[in-house]
Chains A and B, each alone.
Chain A
Amino acid sequence: MGAAQDHVQVSGLRITAPAAGGQETPIVSDVDFTIPRGQVLALIGESGSGKTSIALALMGYARGGCRIAGGGVRVGDTDILTLDASQLRTVRGNRIAYVAQSAASAFNPSRTIMDQVVETAVGRGPISRPAAEAKAVNLFRALALPQPEAIGERYVHQLSGGQLQRLMAAMALMTDPELVILDEPTTALDVTTQIDVLRAFKRVVRQQGATALYVSHDLAVVAQVADRIVVLQRGRVREAGDASQVLEKPADIYTRTLMAAARPPAQVRPHRPAPQQATPVLEVRGLTAGYGRVEAGVPKIPVLRDVTLSIAKGTTLGVIGESGSGKSTLARVIAGLVAPADGQVLFQGQPLAPTLSGRTREQFQRIQLVFQNADTALNPAHTVSRILGRPLAFYHGMDGRARNRRVAELLDLTQLPACLADRHCGELSGGQKQRVNLARALAADPHLILCDEVTSALDTVVGAAILDLLAELRRELDLSYLFISHDISTVRAICDDIAVLYAGQKVEMGPRNGFGDAPFHPYTDLLIGSVPEMRRGWLEEKETAAAPPPLATAQSANLCRFLPRCAARVEGLCDRLPPPRIVLDGGNELLCHHDGQALQHLQRGRQSAISP
């Protein structure tokens, strides 16, 4: 591989951001890498590692205030950094295309998809509108989008996140670019969707023979698509090499840290059998909730249907499901922010009032809610000490010195430096904010903490540290958690019991051990099977699992919610009768027509077919 054959060459790239006092701080320093023609290079790193800045520099662009201070970027025969604005415009979108993380916000909601997909091609090149549309339809088909002929006529709100992400790729590929930059294209998607999108991306990029730069923080995803991997930390290259080498024999200690954090090991802790006579901390019985007018116990837009759960003292219940499954609504109902339409919530044996106004201060204090996104969960106008001090004053009547002392203790408990107390939360890092978010809940001295996706917005390494902190706090303070997540490996690592929600129905629930091996509910099986493994070739092996054919008849409300996507459904049974609740030998409770043996047979059979 001589340098002449490398399609993209980045050498000594430096990017700086303005700092206080007219100084400049480097955010990317001395980055070198090359991408051979037709290969996929992945940039891996935590947030703040400069991976997006590098990706944008490949198009000669620096984000607001930043500046490309030195080095060279060559794509083909063009030295990108020497081009002027009008030359750059012809390169961007034509020769180099960019796919952003959030397709939903990258499309214009008031124009049809087709209008936007063909826009660059028709505006720039010699191609006519009908020809461009024909080409777009071909791309839609190649990207495995449903109804490729008609999908272009729809608007953003009529499409799902996974579909939009693929449409955005189609838009990028319209001009046959020689270099495609994919910036975290699957990070915002559910695992079950991610797998389809990855597969489509990989196939199409191969077909077009384009060179690609794939930016991600997820090593397992990168393992599926990349030929080469560059690991970044704080704007510097830590390790670069072939994908198989980096994944199998990482040379750098930071790469190993990343890999370890990506798959948290199960916390080895004997499952504490709760004393039989003790009342559970939280019990949810037959809960139905949603939005809109309630008629006969069912709201107009039901989000949760007949959910029953309980959490024993000192244990963690994990709730998993994809977006829209009603996990967050469950936390909100328990916290009293959404009134249930039917069913009951009991806290330490006492029924909780459906709305906030009927609850006692004691109940407020003992149940604390921690939201996913610490950026929006902390008031930007308040300092850390005010945020933490408020629950202390509100519940415990602390003031002055006692309060300051307790704030310092809480900061210490959540492993934050005491000097943060006077800062505003805008001045903290993502991980620090999430710790403050947690510390605020702890300030109330709660018995139960509802954690809504608390690690989802964080980098893997930071997220792993938060999980450790949660486990430690539970040991020290004897807390119970309701841990909501979409990531089954996280849930399996820290939870005692797991409940799986699908479209508002609890389809499976049981102790953690029951989620190690088949049989599972078909949806759990799909979830577990969709988590990328950190080895190459996993995606190709998965390809054998065929999606079920579309359902012939419309679905009625009582039937299994998972029916349209179920690979194991039985015609004439599943589409006629509501599924019964069955209990497996391992203690897992399922909502399915199949019994344990049949599921075992189905899932084992497929697993052996995949990996002979």
Chain B
Amino acid sequence: MTPTVPLREESMAKPASTATSRVRHWLSGLSTSGRVGLALVILWLVLGAAGPLLAPYDVGAFVSPEVFDGLSARHWLGSDYLGRDVLSRLLSGAQYTVGLALVSALLASATGAGLALTATVSPRWVDEVISRFMDTLISIPSKVFALVLVAAFGSSLALLLLIAAATYTPGAFRIARALAINLNQMDYVQVAYARGEGRLYIATAEIMPNMIHPVLADFGLRFVFIVLLLSGLSFLGLGVQPPNADLGSLVRENISGLGDGALAILAPAMAIATLTIGVNLLIDALPGRGRRITRGR
């Protein structure tokens, strides 16, 4: 936050060490739960990137004679409903959830917030056009929309990403616009207008820093929704195509093991939980965390 360098750092710090000290400073400002969240997010990013390389078996290989097997030395997380290795499927599936959901949630939130800022600082008619367009988007049922697009273009990861982003952009836009419109009335923004500032400066320097925290909280929520949407699409056969599966589909395809408490369903469920909790813990610990301390009760 504050650009002050910790005192123990020598004043003639080299650029690299300034960067590390800044990271250290930022970390020391993070609460415990924030650090836990950061660790979880980093873990999942690594697993998402390197997962397929770490997987002991091929993702579609039938390697166990038992279905819903418990943990063993050969299969660390047991086997699934078809006798495939759960760990391998989990490691291979992480990239879809982390990559697809994270990227499309980022895309949805960034587009929504960007359009909201544009609508706020632009003349009224621009706001009207953007808002009505978003209303139109929001009125289309997301599953039907996805069905039509997949039918037209065939299922691909890029298309899934766009569908998820387009489905959640209007919501992000509405929340961000409500925030930005309120901030636009604040005296400091009015002073900036009276100073003759351009719209871009007002949107990015005056309004955005003050709405970033609620927008991030909203992003966390949308991320969870998108994980669920993607697994829903997979269930319909529109999402990630077998034998690959994202974490949501792993839960769904092993649903029959729920009664036995099979690891095949618990492990991916836990994976989704740790990922979403990690993202939300980290977001809650981000900017604006100072504000909450004063409200202590």
Contacts and interface: CB of A to CB of B under 8 A. Distances in A.
Contacts of B7: none
Interface stretch (A25-33, A134-142, A170-178, A377-385): A377-385
B191 A369 contact: yes
A443 B221 CA distance: 43
Interface stretch (B29-37, B78-86, B151-159, B193-201): B193-201
B210 A379 contact: yes
A155 interface: no
Given A371-B187, A377-B188, A381-B209, A394 B2 contact: no
A522 interface: no
A364 B188 contact: no
Contact of A380 (B193, B197, B210, B297): B210
Given A18-B296, A379-B206, A422-B2, A359 B196 contact: yes
B186 interface: yes
Contacts of A381: 209-210
B193 to A, nearest CB: 6
Given A65-B297, A379-B206, A379-B210, A373 B196 contact: no
Contact of A356 (B188, B191, B193): B193
Most buried by B among A373, A381, A391: A381
A25 to B, nearest CB: 14
A442 interface: no
Contacts of B186: 376
B277 to A, nearest CB: 28
A335 B187 CA distance: 13
Contacts of B191: 369, 371, 377, 440
A64 B195 contact: no
A335 B194 contact: yes
Contacts of A332: 190
Interface string B275-293: 0000000000000001000
Residue of A65, A336, A371, A379 with highest tally of chain B CB at under 10 A:
A379
B124 interface: no
B4 interface: yes
B184 to A, nearest CB: 12
Contacts of B206: 379
Contacts of A269: none
Contact of B296 (A64, A365, A390): A64
A337 interface: yes
Contacts of A378: 188
Contacts of B3: 422
Interface string A69-111: 0000000000000000000000000000000000000000000
Contacts of B190: 332, 337, 369, 371
Contact of A369 (B194, B209, B295, B296): B194
A83 to B, nearest CB: 20
Interface string A385-412: 0000011001000000000000000000
A136 B196 CA distance: 54
Contact of B193 (A18, A64, A337, A422): A337
Contacts of B188: 376-379
A442 B204 CA distance: 24
A426 B196 CA distance: 25
Interface residues of A, number: 32
A18 to B, nearest CB: 7
Contacts of A383: 2
Q: Give the interface size bracket for B toward A.
A: 20 to 34
B209 A379 contact: yes
A390 B188 CA distance: 12
A361 interface: yes
Counting chain A CB atoms within 10 Å of each CB, which of B191, B209, B296 scores highest? B191
Given A373-B187, A377-B187, A379-B209, A337 B296 contact: no
A367 B193 CA distance: 12
Contacts of B195: 364, 368, 390-391, 394, 444
B103 to A, nearest CB: 27
A335 B193 CA distance: 9
Contacts of A376: 186-188
A379 B186 CA distance: 9
A449 to B, nearest CB: 12
B297 A356 contact: no
B196 A361 contact: yes
A380 B205 CA distance: 11
Contacts of B193: 337, 356
Contact of B194 (A65, A337, A379): A337
Given A65-B297, A377-B191, A364 B196 contact: yes
A64 B187 contact: no
A390 B209 CA distance: 16
Contacts of A335: 194
A67 to B, nearest CB: 12
Interface in A410-433: 422, 426
Q: Which of B193, B195, B197 lies at the interface centre, i.e. has the most chain A CB atoms within 10 A of its CB?
A: B195
A183 B141 CA distance: 54
A64 B292 CA distance: 12
A367 B190 CA distance: 14
Contacts of A361: 196
Interface string A334-369: 011100000000000000000010010100110111
Contacts of B197: 394
Contacts of A368: 194-195
Contacts of A422: 2-4
Interface string B179-223: 000000011101101111100000001100110000000000000
Contacts of A382: 205, 209
B209 A364 contact: no
Contact of A65 (B196, B205, B209, B296): B296
Interface string B1-14: 01110000000000
Contacts of B187: 371, 373, 376-377
A327 to B, nearest CB: 15
A64 B210 contact: no
B162 to A, nearest CB: 32
A332 B4 CA distance: 38
Nearest to A360: B196
Interface of A: 18, 64-65, 332, 335-337, 356, 359, 361, 364-365, 367-369, 371, 373, 376-383, 390-391, 394, 422, 426, 440, 444
23 contacts: A18-B296, A64-B294, A64-B297, A65-B296, A332-B190, A337-B190, A337-B193, A356-B194, A364-B194, A364-B195, A364-B196, A367-B194, A368-B194, A371-B187, A373-B187, A376-B186, A379-B209, A379-B210, A381-B209, A391-B195, A394-B196, A394-B197, A444-B195
Given A356-B193, A371-B187, A444-B195, 17 more contacts: A65-B296, A65-B297, A335-B194, A337-B194, A359-B196, A364-B195, A368-B194, A369-B191, A369-B194, A371-B191, A377-B188, A379-B188, A379-B209, A381-B210, A383-B2, A390-B205, A422-B3
